[in-house]
Amino acid sequence: MTAYLLGRFVSLALSLVAASLVIFLVLEIVPGDPASFMMGINADPQAIAALRSQLGLDEPIHLRYLGWVAGLLHGDFGMSYTYRVPVADLIAERVVISLPLTLYALALSTIIAFPAGIIAAARRNSATDVAVMGATQIGVAIPNFWFAMLLVLVFSINLRIFSAGGFPGWEAGFLPAMKALTLPAVALALPQASILARVMRSSLLDTLHEDFMRSARAKGLTRSQALWRHALRNALIPVLTIVGLQFSFLLAGGIIIENVFYLPGLGRLVFQGITQRDLIVVRSVVIVLVFAVIAVTFLVDVAYAIADPRLRRHGR
Amino acid sequence: MTALSVSGLTLAIHGTPILSDVDLTVGAGEIVGIVGESGSGKSMTALSVMQLLPHGSQWSGSIKVAGNDVGAMTETELCGMRGRDAAMVFQEPMTALNPVQTIGDQVAETIRIHTGTGRREALALARQTLDRVGLPADRFPLDRYPHELSGGQRQRVVIAMAIALRPKLLIADEPTTALDVTTQAQILDLLSGLVREEGMGLMLITHDLAVVAGLADRIAILQHGSVVESGATRDVFAAMRHPYTRALFSASAHVPSRTPPPAADGPPVLAVSEVVREYPQPRRGLFHRPPRFRAVDGVSFEIARGENVGLVGESGCGKSTLARAILALDPLDGGEIRLNGEVFSSAGDGPRMTQRAGVQVVFQDPYGSFNPRHKVRRLVCEPFHLLGSPPRGAELEARMLRALEAVGLSAGDADKYIHEFSGGQRQRIAIARALIIEPSLIVLDEAVSALDVSIRAQILDLLAELSGRLDLSYLFISHDLTVVRAITDRVMVMKAGRIVEEGPTTRVFEDPQHPYTRSLIAATPSLAAALAAPADRRAPSGRRDA
């Protein structure tokens, strides 16, 4: 187990180094000079050159990469070209919205998907199964921004239960903040829950056909005992993979939903960074997202090892 | 008391008749063999008793387990019966256990669900049961997972799960078909011992007459869902009233008539010298070099033109790795393989693609070795791409027809898909595919192991005839010694990556020199030996001697 985790950890570190290099190089190739963008179209070339040296853009590329990485290790992401504030501060104030929103959506998705998938698989071809599969089909098909607007229409404008957008900040209290995140979380969770429920169902159905399920029944277990005791844990591996992927997707992919609900999250920050050639912000947000994705992948790997003893090769 | 009595059992699945009017009894302490070919309804009889039939099944008749009428039981009562009064052991030990649960928990589960004892007590009982089936605590602690055990050891765990509560009836559905001969002998010994000592009734389902002949008190022979003949084992085999019994018997002992290979002239078809194949094993630590496992360890042999050579050994002995090396599917780690005198594959140099046409292969699984979306025409002609200038048009058609006709198929079969054929026909198509580019050597890797005895006899005849007519050489790899004995001129016995004995087939079987060869031969169930043994003997003597 230790060797397995150590191995995963080394691969995590290597992935981060590789990712930082790729991110840095790709953004170097991207056309558009931040300095000339900031100074406007009619700027004096000398002023642009001065700004470039002020921003450190005239240094050799490898020094800039090393400087950036060294800064990252200290938590210093550099200064935003356009906002003129430390990027770390910008990211910090966005992460406190995006991360809770992601976790909220993921929790909702799992809470809906697991029971739905399990019931559908246990009662295959029944009316329940057909209903669950039909509902998930719709859930996958509906664009989430449209569903978000529908939620606003029903719960904010007609029923006046939730506000239509904005975020009061965590200093306003836990419950008001969570309330503000509820509609976005539901909008984000619906398609994810639909996908997850389908994966859960098919994975469980595959497992139900395994030979050891027949052994379990021959022992005298009822159908549902066999499902809970033997099928579920075996069916979990592919489901965990999807949950890991969904986390990564939700963290950065919430940009449209953030726009619908006027939430100042990471997605909006990176979008603004791209349009304003604030490449240092883009770079920093992307590396933070990469780190999150790699960290979650690591957690999923740990979960695999817990769920499946065959991965713990050197356990004893 | 009768462990099981079945009378007038008739079963249909989705309207298709599967069993008709099956009568069967298994007494306490008695072993009853159920013999038949695939599709005869053996397994469905067992699943009817356990009431674990697939959806859409409709049955009638009477099934009594330990005197209780199964048909009158509710689902809850059935769950109480399964595992406690009647237990079952299945064919495939590799997949019959839950991979994510320890063996202790899986055996204890049988005890816990039926008796409601606590986990600790159930585990203590599970320990005793595992000891009973030959898995002692020092080597097989309760917290082992199935993947840490071999096939035979897993089958012992499955048996422990089944016998933990000392059921009246034990059903074993092909319990040793997936196992090596020596492991098979041990498992059969274990089962018969349990039956005699615990007074269980054992219903032993098998396609292998030799297994039941040496073990069963009574047998029932099933064909197309009906019992065609039943009675005391010796009587049934002595009289063989039903033609199907006679057919089964002769197919099981079938030896194809073969012409001896011509005197060898020119270079051998295959010359393997000092071949080594190694696999890297999982790393022990992050900074350690992964250790290497030597699967084939300095093997040398030759096969002459027209010669049929057998390669036998237990699973894991390296015979399939050697076969892959001979087919040049894997690079060598040492040594050299020559095909018709030319270097085909050598360490460091890799296989020569251009020579692949000289050697073809037929695999075990007649279902998995074809692309289901291609027609037979395309499947059979596939090897032509190995030739520099493949035949086209009329010549292609003629050669395809010749290959199909050589294996007993007709022109009309060329435009069918593979699912339209039975297992035996598929294996014929596999042979046609191997023959079509006229190789000098065909590697037959367990090529008849998945087939029923009657089909197996036909395929063996076909192989013998082709070899004689076309001067083909075979490397016949099998764990089934009976088949190897029937079809080969020379045999090699492989153990732990090395060939431990080699010689003319008759000599090796009649006068084995190496202790390992002797133990293999002794463990092989023999129909003739079992029937020739004294009538009062209850367990097969060959196995006891081993």
Four-CA torsion B530, B531, B534, B540, nearest 10 degrees: 20
Do A7 and A141 fall into the same domain? no
Q: Which residue has the higher pLDDT, A58 or B135?
A: B135
CATH number at residue A274: 1.10.3720.10
Interface contact flag, B110 A220, Cβ < 8 Å:
yes
Q: In what order do the strands lie in the sheet with B57-65?
A: B16-27, B2-13, B57-65, B68-69
Do A17 and A107 fall into the same domain? no
Number of domains in chain A: 2
Query: Identity (one letter) of the amino acid at B75?
Result: E
Q: Which residues of A touch B110 (CB under 8 A)?
A: 219-220
Do A170 and A258 fall into the same domain? yes
Do A25 and A172 fall into the same domain? no
CB neighbours of residue B513 within 10 Å? 14
Q: Out of A81-90, B78-87, B257-266, B523-532, pick the least confident.
A: B257-266
Please report which confidence band the pLDDT of residue B25 belongs to, taking 50, 70 and 90 as the band edges. Answer: very high
pLDDT digits (tens, 9 = 90+) for B432-479: 999 898 899 999 998 888 788 888 888 899 899 888 888 899 999 988
Interface contact flag, A309 B99, Cβ < 8 Å:
yes
Question: Which member of B50, B95, B113 has the closest CB to residue A211?
Answer: B95
Do A272 and A301 fall into the same domain? yes
Residue numbers of B between 93 and 152 with CB closer than 8 Å to A: 95-101, 109-110, 113-114, 145, 147
pLDDT per residue rounded down to tens, chain A (316 residues): 677 788 888 888 898 889 888 888 887 776 667 677 767 777 788 877 887 777 777 778 888 888 888 888 888 888 887 788 888 898 888 888 888 999 999 999 999 999 999 999 999 889 999 999 999 999 999 888 889 889 988 988 888 888 878 888 888 888 888 888 899 999 999 999 999 999 999 999 999 999 999 999 999 999 999 999 999 989 988 898 899 888 888 887 777 888 888 888 888 888 888 888 788 888 888 888 888 888 888 888 888 888 888 877 544 3
pLDDT of residue B114: 94
Task: Give the Cα separation of B37 and B32 in Å (integer).
Answer: 17
pLDDT of residue B172: 94
Domains detected in chain B: 2-250 (3.40.50.300), 270-513 (3.40.50.300)
Do A38 and A145 fall into the same domain? no
Angle between helical axes of B181-198 and B151-163 (0-180°, round to 10) = 10
Interface contact flag, A210 B95, Cβ < 8 Å:
yes
Do A232 and A276 fall into the same domain? yes
Query: Closest approach of chain A CAs to the CA of B543, in angstroms?
Result: 28
Q: Out of A266-280, B83-97, B227-241, pick the least confident.
A: A266-280
Strand partners, A162: none
Strand partners, B60: B10
From B310, B314, B337, B341, select the one nearest B324 (Cα to Cα). B337
Do A165 and A275 fall into the same domain? yes
pLDDT digits (tens, 9 = 90+) for B374-423: 999 999 998 888 887 888 889 999 999 988 988 888 888 899 998 888 88
Instruction: Check pLDDT > 50 for residue B540.
Output: no
Query: ipTM of this predicted complex?
Result: 0.80
Query: Closest approach of chain A CAs to the CA of B244, in angstroms?
Result: 32
Do A139 and A190 fall into the same domain? yes
Do A255 and A305 fall into the same domain? yes
Q: Which residues of A touch B286 (CB under 8 A)?
A: 3, 6-7, 10
Residue A208 belongs to what domain range?
Answer: 94-311
Interface contact flag, B113 A307, Cβ < 8 Å:
no
Do A43 and A177 fall into the same domain? no
- Say if CB B442 and CB B473 are below 8 A apart: yes
Interface contact flag, A215 B161, Cβ < 8 Å:
yes
Question: Which member of A3, A221, A234 has the closest CB to residue B79?
Answer: A221
Query: Closest approach of chain B CAs to the CA of A228, in angstroms?
Result: 12
Interface contact flag, B99 A308, Cβ < 8 Å:
yes
Query: Closest approach of chain B CAs to the CA of A221, in angstroms?
Result: 6
Q: Which residue has the higher pLDDT, B484 or B541?
A: B484
Substitution target in A11, A12, A206, A212 with the highest count of B β-carbons within 10 Å is A212
Q: How many residue pairs from chains A and B have C-beta atoms closer than 8 A?
A: 83
Interface contact flag, A222 B81, Cβ < 8 Å:
no
Do A127 and A259 fall into the same domain? yes
Rg over CA atoms, chain B: 25
In this structure, is residue A233 part of a structural domain?
A: yes
